[in-house]
Chains A and B, each alone.
Chain A
């Protein structure tokens, strides 16, 4: 996934634990053994081997808090207290259990208006340099991340904490200023910083950003800018497999930076890259049926949507127009153009979020119905001219559509939408942008129609996108009713009221239609058949969070 996407992910603030890529294998892929389920093992995992990975973006820094990319490399090196598994459920990593209300890990304070989270840390964990990992490191991480002098991209959650107590070396008590159901999606999950190496250092310019020291299964041996990162096995890694054998299985991992997806495809075919995470749908299509290559797909919490620019003066403030546009879009065509991988959706709360999703019609955006769209536009006085395009009172019905340039899947989707809107008589022209220019347009609302995507955490927070003051709401959409529903949803930690509030959120969004939810993304990885135990991860913590259990079968003659 290109740089900026990752950037949006990290940005998508409070609770974005994006990139859902879990389970079901796509085509040709046989059922993979999910490490947590007791799947029958054909052969015992083998120690050794080098895994070569192709990454599509240039790495800026290897510090999980300051990078603007997804931390693929970092996930193999740095660990947090918790991590989302392949089903986007939190599992303990450096903590011994996931804090919940039931196990007493979450305690409500100040008469139920605030909370305290207690983590018990895993004993005997060592940093890559051999020093002990303790509660002081956890506290240091919070102090460092919230320090305004530290210029970081991901400071999510650091402002919600008022203080941290460390009664002993293995206990951390985090005091929150309010109820924060999404606490697990933020800082202590991203990663813990080593206090003994960083205290008193200027983390903006520290060597840590090139060679981070963590507790994870691999340590950084070499980082060549613009080329590759070499990771070697951490021989003292704390985790063991079910048979008691040491982890990780792999000896070495090399991340190669390959910005061109065509080149990446060639490298995969040539066997020079054995794993490529999050490949574009177009590349997946090309690699289908390639010898010795397996495509693994998993669900994602990401979804693609068409946003309306609703700033004052915009024609799109007319609900009739928005509804007609929504009815004109055939999601099946979008799915087909994406190689059949994604799923059509009609609500921003994706079906994968089982505890929140509601499939009832009044909570879903309009389905494909171009006849209804045409009738509604006729009735509203948008008359077709001789060229087939509509206008009203002499003003032509025309809009710009924007998406991130250079991103092939997005540009293809944009073309389809342009064709479909032309079919109902709306003239559409593309105005694509890249990098900061795209961000500017997106967050300042300088667009008519925006074809883009969001990814949430497994504890999703939607107020950032659709709240009247949502930091990522560049559309200019504001609804007091929705704000109230979002507030109820995002401050309740009990399942039932949370679900009811989520239903209201879905219903109001389907009614107001500030954006048309289109497809639920899937995450597709291309890998050699020799790589076993690989699972995709649906969150922003990337597939590499499970790397300790991956192993390579030895190659036979002629197989990459």
Chain B
């Protein structure tokens, strides 16, 4: 892979993100209502005062002007102020990022650590009791609603057994590594469950496909060990489509997980997004969505790079 290729792709992101931002900006403004609705119906806010508020937020300008102004200030690193809280958007987001990345990252690692062996085992031992049992569990994992599973886990591990805290990010005034892990355990498991199930099914299908190829038979014929064939020949080829799925998931980490965050009182990006959406807090929404879009674009590039690493036949020039 040449540095020119990477550079070209990176430069290509700029017009892409600009296009995305324009679409997002339009969609946000298409939704009914606006951030000043709270004031419009308030009899003690006079029309003159309302006009002044509009000027203060730049909402009196025509939409194209608002958009250009937003682009200009974003380019300078100024993301504006939240209409809801009056604080800088960057601060609002930065406060939520660590919790979001910790939960999403842990769930991602956990998902991969479980999905890979499950996928390989079910494919290698297909139609065995193991395959049926793990397949059943995978379908259960995909089908169980997150909020229900979370609730059951809270009842079992927090209330009945008392092993883990019910919810929250840390114990106030007593936060440490162990405390953090105890708070992280249930949300991370809940969040990764559906992914483990989906990815392991995905990998199983891809593995079954690879195991039927001629080169597998050849590898066996050459006297490779079954494990070696499975890992070196089949898995490596079966991983390509999985990389695509995983890279998508990686990008979505940064957008948070609304339900898991809500049930476990986790201070992540997902809840911030929903609250900002309900209040039509345009500056925060734009900031969050642009961050999510950028993450997606970058992770797509990362996936392309990983393809080349896994499969030497893939070349980018």
Contact = CB atoms under 8 A, between A and B. Distances in A.
A4 interface: yes
Interface of B: 31-35, 37-46, 48-49, 52-53, 56, 81, 84-87, 92, 95-96, 99, 147, 151, 154-155, 158-159, 162, 165-169, 172, 262-265, 267-268, 271-272, 275, 277-280
B95 A11 contact: no
A153 B50 CA distance: 11
A267 B166 contact: yes
A554 B43 CA distance: 48
Contact of B271 (A58, A66, A149): A58
A155 B37 contact: no
A154 B44 CA distance: 8
A3 B277 CA distance: 13
Given A68-B38, A263-B154, A471-B43, A149 B166 contact: no
Nearest to B154: A266
Nearest to B259: A260
Interface in A28-52: none
Nearest to B48: A148
Interface stretch (A250-258, A409-417, A423-431, A482-490): A250-258
Contact of A3 (B43, B165, B278): B278
B23 to A, nearest CB: 20
Interface string A186-213: 0000000000000000001100011000
A440 B37 contact: yes
A3 B263 contact: no
Interface of A: 3-4, 7, 11, 13-14, 58, 60-61, 66, 68, 148-149, 151, 153-159, 204-205, 209-210, 224-228, 230, 254, 256-260, 262-263, 266-267, 269-270, 272, 434-437, 439-440, 443, 464, 471-472
B84 A60 contact: yes
Contacts of A225: 92, 95-96, 267
Contacts, number: 148
Among B33, B43, B81, B168, max chain A CB count under 10 A is at: B43
Contact of B46 (A60, A159, A472): A159
A437 B33 contact: yes
B56 A226 contact: no
A204 B158 CA distance: 41
Contact of B158 (A3, A153, A266, A443): A266
Contacts of B46: 148, 159
Contacts of A66: 86
B172 A68 contact: no
B165 A272 contact: yes
A258 B167 contact: yes
B52 A205 contact: no
A186 to B, nearest CB: 8
A62 B48 CA distance: 26
Contacts of A224: 267
A146 B56 CA distance: 16
A153 B42 contact: yes
